[in-house]
């Protein structure tokens, strides 16, 4: 009787473990799908804002690198330009966006995403 009880316990544990694993895999897949959708919305939001602001292709690159948190020196190195050029481009970006710096630029996108309205304001 003890062996039968132990065997049933093991089988029950195996079944419950399998169900838990299956549920966990479904939740992971759903979270990954939500992340892909959010990433797509953010990319669309960036493209819309950059177009509305009339950023040049070079300014778009610099703005994207700045939003990723790269320093002026890192951006200059990646773009093979001088730091002065990158500073001029970031100043043009801030002016066109109507902000005074990088934190405010990032907050524009965060506010849009939190509001659930990815379309830029007129």
Question: What is the pLDDT averaged over residues 82-110?
Answer: 92
Sorting pLDDT into bands at 50, 70 and 90, what band is 23? very high
Cα 95 to Cα 53, 54, 58, distances in angstroms: 9, 11, 15
What is the predicted pLDDT for the residue at 40? 74
Q: DSSP letter for 122, please.
A: -
Query: Which of these CATH numbers, 1.10.510.10, 1.10.10.10, 3.40.50.1950, 3.30.300.30, describes 36-115?
Result: 1.10.10.10
Question: What is the pLDDT averaged over residues 74-91?
Answer: 95
The residues, ordered by sequence, that sit 6+ positions from 89 with a Cβ below 8 Å of its Cβ are 58, 59, 62
The predicted-structure confidence for 43-78, as pLDDT tens digits, reads as follows 888 888 899 999 999 999 999 999 999 999 999 999
Where are the domains positioned within the chain? 36-115
Sorting pLDDT into bands at 50, 70 and 90, what band is 116? low
């Amino acid at each position: 009787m003890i062996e039968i009880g132990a065997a049933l316990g093991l089988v029950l544990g195996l079944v419950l473990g399998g169900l838990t694993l299956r549920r966990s895999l479904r939740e992971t897949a759903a979270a990954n799908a939500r992340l892909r959708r959010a990433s797509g919305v953010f990319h669309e939001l960036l493209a819309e804002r950059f177009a509305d602001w009339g950023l040049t292709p070079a300014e778009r690159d610099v703005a994207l690198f700045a939003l990723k948190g790269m320093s002026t020196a890192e951006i200059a190195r990646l773009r093979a330009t001088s730091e002065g050029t990158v500073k001029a481009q970031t100043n043009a970006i801030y002016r066109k966006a109507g902000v005074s710096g990088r934190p405010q630029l990032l907050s524009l996108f965060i506010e849009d995403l939190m509001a659930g309205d990815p379309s830029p304001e007129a």
